[in-house]
Amino acid sequence: MSCILVTGSKGQLGSEIAKISKDYPAFDFIFIDREEMPLEDTEEIISFLNKTAPNLIISAGAYTAVDRAENEKDLADQINHLAVATISKWCAANGAKLIHISTDYIFDGTSEIPYKESDVSAPINWYGETKLRGERAIEHNLIDAVIIRTSWVYSEYGNNFVKTMLRLMRERESIAVVNDQIGTPTYALDLAKAIMKIIESNKWESGVFHYSNEGEISWYDFAFAINELSSLNCAVNGVATDQFPTIAKRPNYSLLDKSKIKKTYDVIIPDWRDSLKECLQILKN
């Protein structure tokens, strides 16, 4: 039986993979978080991997606090870059495959058409920089790696935009949401299923792939839909990014071109609104 190790098991993606893992009895899953394998400790990473000897690692654990990363630069780099370098070196030395999750934040957001995998990367915040360093470490160390860049992840688990909006919309009569940052949300359950489709496929094509749900919206559009589909009576007002300053800059445009993953692995990607409805139904129940 093939052993799959999933890092970041308490995060959104790790939790969704754990939820559907029972549907894949051909694999032996090991789910770990920072308690079992602290990503800030290189020796602990190597020790744990030697002990468990997985055939494939899904690297979903990451430092994702985008604003806090500007002040915790060493920690963010350790988790998003140096830990990933260690994992990829171990995979290369032990004949294991790697699926690593990266981000749209490796781009500067100045494009006007969806980003392809081959487009030039130029992060505008430290989180994006550390994720790009992690990608480059993998590409340097390991041939058998699939890197999946994704964007605007949400789910029934953890902290995310959907759950924050639901809370605010119940507490307030009106909220303001930026309307000039364009992209597409990613329902973590959809991404989890796409990852398992790649693993189950009889072909393994390494490289960088993009995945998010289908569509093109702003954060305002996303919030408006959450309000509407949840039948809440909160007024959602669109504002420009400069009215909503954050510590870390965000890309204004981070739409991802998904044609490569669809063509290579026959991945069917749901529309963002259909996936949002599904998640909201789960949260309601």
Token pair of 260 as six digits: 């490569």
Instruction: Count CA atoms closer than 13 A to 7's CA, side-chain side.
Output: 27
Burial status of residue 112 (CB atoms within 10 A of its CB: 0-12, 13-18, 19 or more): exposed
Per the annotation, the verdict on 105 as an active-site residue is no
Beta bridge partners of 149: 102, 210
- Per DSSP, helices labelled H in the chain are 12-20, 42-52, 66-69, 73-77, 83-94, 126-141, 161-171, 188-200, 219-229, 259-265, 272-284
What does each C-alpha distance from 96 to 16, 31, 42, 48, 56 come to in angstroms? 23, 17, 18, 14, 5
Strands 2-7 and 56-59: parallel
* Catalytic hit among 127, 211, 220, 265: 127
Give backbone dihedrals phi and psi of 279, rounded to 5 degrees, phi first. -65, -45
Those residues whose C-beta lies under 8 Å from the C-beta of residue 23, and which sit 6 or more positions away, are 196
Contact 67, 248 (CB under 8 A): yes
Residues carrying an active site annotation = 127
